[in-house]
């Protein structure tokens, strides 16, 4: 996926709320800017464009003029020296940061001391650095704004690695700040020294080792710009302890130094590309939209495009919510565990409109067989993704928001001349929906995990923010909860990092205090960051945990059943000497952290139990015991094509 967010060498902001101030960006004002919607109640909305402007005038439809922001009011006099750590914290304030996820240590103590002097930044203290980085990701995914995490040197920094890799693969804007040993000790194998810049070079969009205290304002500004512009991603700033302690009078007007990066940002597209795409649409009989996480900032434009064309929409795992799943034109998710009708549509299509996607292997399966009958149009912000896995017939490198605006303008201008009638194609797909619906079986009073998610969807009206770990529960949550809005769905897609769900829910609850946040988790994933229950309690975050507990590593068990003759190779997570008991007792973890909890084992009791979870103020854990024999279906085996799809069976059958 190549998620779309904003860029231009400049950033402007709307006037900040009374709760915090933003800096003047007079040196960075763009020639034009596009709004990036944010649902955050605390962070200020950023306005950035995803393309470099050229000499052509920009039409009013793509221009937003915002009044100049109020000047930032520092707590220091302009000529007053202060520590580098205080400069760092003020630089974060000037970027509009109000929440960070920071765990202290020897090399980052100065930063934490400076945070206590800030009146605008709240630190949500995780209980493990991985919990902090995943929480920052959850914050970013739920709000659309960069998440910020802070860790100390050595093991603190290396504990961020999974989160940084996850953010890079899923295009999540994030700034990670690490303490480092003093400059004179770098390279001496000092206590808690790791070369974190080298360690993370290939899993960050960019990273910095600060060697001059005067560079902090510029580097922080660049880091946020890099994280949020073009294809978003994580940026790391490593700051030696002596730099944090050094006194300096900061220069806030230092310009950014990103000439190479700025020169590689996509240029504005001309209408000829869009006319060509519209012509392909008018010539097609069976078009399909293949929509990814790159469309999350373009939901309105995408819905308008579908309204104008009547083209059915298949979503990737990362793109869920970009187009409403409740729409008749939604085919839901495609790929390995996508719906039969979504994969059927792609297989039979004659035109595939790939918007904000990267042709991931879990979507395409066997590349030669994927959309083999179709002409392919690929629009993406990242030029490296175009033609990487599947060669398109027409490609546009640019912001999908601007591209959709251009396409919609052409379609609206043509009006009835479009002559687009795909009713026969939609009827064919509707027949597939009837023939191959998402379904599950019930065995006695056992609770089908799919049913638990279905009930949650009903009781929350489909409006909750859902985070997940990784495994079977993740796929069922993608299939059986209906996401109708962007940024409702937070999951580790590309990296598939177990332990993501609980801390991501923390980040979402901090970013969106108005929302119902539910972590749908599996017992394996939940255990990997169970310590974050303490953070939830101390911060009194109203995170609900729907734990689908099957005592196994469910997805690995499913593959064992299908491809390894059900030979169990260390996938049982219970206590082998007491198989009749639930182990570990998840309710005891909740009790230890003073969080209300309950267990449900019978289908008849499930609805009332979920309702109680939702009605209970604050955090709550519901331990839902489900059979380990369930399989996620449909399933296209790795490397297979649509003709290989599996729609029947579970662990109760031998293969």
Instruction: Catalogue the active-site residues.
Output: 129, 191-192, 241, 555
Helix 129-143 with 161-169: angle, nearest 10 deg: 20
Query: Phi first, then psi: what are they for 355, rounded to 5°?
Result: -115, 115
Please tell me the distance from the alpha carbon of residue 491 to that of residue 350, in angstroms, as a whole number.
31
Residue 471 backbone zone (phi > 0: left; psi -120 to 50: alpha; other: beta): left
| Coil/strand/helix, residue 260 | helix
Can you read off the two tokens belonging to residue 438?
Answer: 């998402």
Q: For the chain, how big is the Rg over CA atoms in Å?
A: 25
Closest by Cα among 547, 512, 508, 553 to 530: 547
Please tell me the distance from the alpha carbon of residue 553 to that of residue 344, in angstroms, as a whole number.
30
Q: Any idea what the Cα angle at residue 241 is, between residues 238 and 247, rounded to 5°? A: 110
CA dihedral sign, ordered 11, 203, 320, 625: negative
Evaluate whether 160 touches 503 at the Cβ level (below 8 Å): no
Can you read off the two tokens belonging to residue 158?
Answer: 């290396």
Residue with tokens 């959309």: 371
Please tell me the distance from the alpha carbon of residue 354 to that of residue 164, in angstroms, as a whole number.
26
Which residues, in sequence order, are CB contacts of 402 under 8 Å at separation 6+?
34, 50, 51, 62, 268, 269
Strands (E), 263-417: 287-291, 313-315, 330-333, 351-355, 375-380, 394-397
Look at strands 247-248 and 82-83 and give their pairing.
antiparallel
* Counts for the chain of helices (H) and strands (E), in that order: 23, 22
Please tell me the distance from the alpha carbon of residue 410 to that of residue 271, in angstroms, as a whole number.
9
């Amino acid at each position: 996926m190549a998620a779309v967010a904003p860029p231009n060498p400049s950033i402007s902001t709307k006037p900040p709320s009374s709760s915090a101030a933003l800096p003047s960006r007079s040196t960075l004002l763009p020639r034009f800017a596009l709004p990036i919607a944010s649902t955050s109640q605390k962070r200020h909305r950023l306005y950035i464009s995803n393309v470099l402007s050229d000499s052509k005038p920009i039409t009013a439809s793509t221009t937003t003029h915002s009044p100049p922001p109020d000047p930032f009011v520092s707590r220091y006099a302009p000529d007053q020296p202060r520590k580098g750590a205080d400069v760092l914290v003020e630089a974060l304030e000037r970027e509009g940061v109000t929440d960070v996820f920071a765990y202290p240590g020897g090399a980052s103590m100065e930063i934490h001391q400076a945070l206590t002097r800030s009146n605008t930044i709240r630190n949500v203290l995780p209980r493990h650095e991985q919990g902090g980085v995943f929480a920052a990701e959850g914050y970013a995914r739920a709000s659309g704004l960069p998440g910020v995490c802070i860790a100390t040197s050595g093991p603190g920094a290396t504990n961020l690695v999974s989160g940084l890799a996850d953010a890079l693969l899923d295009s999540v804007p994030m700034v990670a700040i690490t303490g480092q040993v003093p400059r004179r000790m770098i390279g001496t194998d000092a206590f808690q020294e790791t070369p974190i810049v080298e360690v993370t070079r290939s899993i960050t969009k960019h990273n910095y080792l600060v060697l001059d205290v005067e560079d902090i304002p510029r580097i922080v500004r660049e880091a946020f710009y890099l994280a949020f512009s073009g294809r978003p991603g994580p940026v790391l700033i490593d700051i030696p302890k002596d730099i944090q302690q050094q006194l300096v009078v900061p220069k806030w007007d230092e310009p950014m130094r990103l000439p190479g990066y700025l020169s590689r940002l996509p240029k504005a597209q001309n209408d000829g590309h869009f006319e060509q795409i519209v012509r392909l649409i008018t010539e097609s009989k069976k078009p399909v939209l293949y929509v990814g996480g790159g469309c999350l900032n373009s939901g309105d434009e995408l819905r308008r495009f579908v309204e104008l064309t009547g083209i059915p929409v298949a979503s990737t795992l990362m793109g869920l919510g970009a187009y409403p799943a409740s729409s008749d034109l939604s085919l839901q998710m495609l790929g390995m565990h996508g719906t039969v009708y979504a994969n059927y549509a792609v297989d039979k299509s004659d035109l595939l409109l790939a918007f904000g996607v990267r042709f991931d292997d879990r979507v395409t399966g066997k590349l030669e067989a994927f959309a083999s009958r179709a002409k392919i149009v690929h629009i993406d912000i990242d030029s490296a993704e175009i033609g990487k896995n599947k060669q398109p017939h027409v490609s546009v490198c640019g912001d999908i928001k601007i591209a959709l605006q251009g396409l919609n303008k052409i379609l609206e201008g043509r009006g009835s001349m479009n002559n687009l009638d795909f009713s026969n194609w939609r009827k064919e797909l509707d027949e597939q929906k009837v023939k191959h619906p998402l379904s599950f079986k019930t065995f006695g009073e056992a609770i089908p995990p799919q049913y638990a998610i279905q009930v949650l969807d009903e009781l929350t009206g489909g409006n909750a923010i859902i985070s997940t770990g990784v495994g079977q529960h993740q796929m069922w949550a993608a299939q059986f909860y209906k996401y109708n809005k962007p940024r409702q769905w937070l999951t580790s897609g590309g990296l598939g990092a177990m332990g993501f769900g609980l801390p991501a829910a923390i980040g979402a609850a901090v970013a969106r205090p108005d929302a119902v946040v539910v972590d749908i988790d599996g017992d394996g994933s939940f255990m990997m960051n169970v310590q974050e229950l303490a953070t939830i309690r101390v911060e009194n975050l109203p995170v609900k945990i729907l734990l689908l507990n099957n005592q196994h590593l469910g997805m690995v068990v499913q593959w064992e059943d299908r491809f390894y003759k059900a030979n169990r190779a260390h996938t049982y997570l219970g206590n082998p000497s007491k198989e009749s008991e639930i182990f570990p007792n998840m309710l005891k973890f909740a009790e230890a952290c003073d969080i209300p909890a309950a267990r449900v084992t019978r289908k008849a009791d499930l609805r009332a139990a979920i309702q109680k979870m939702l009605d209970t103020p604050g955090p709550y854990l519901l331990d839902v015991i489900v059979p380990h024999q369930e399989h996620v279906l449909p399933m296209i085996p790795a490397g297979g094509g649509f003709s290989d799809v599996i729609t029947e069976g579970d662990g109760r059958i031998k293969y």
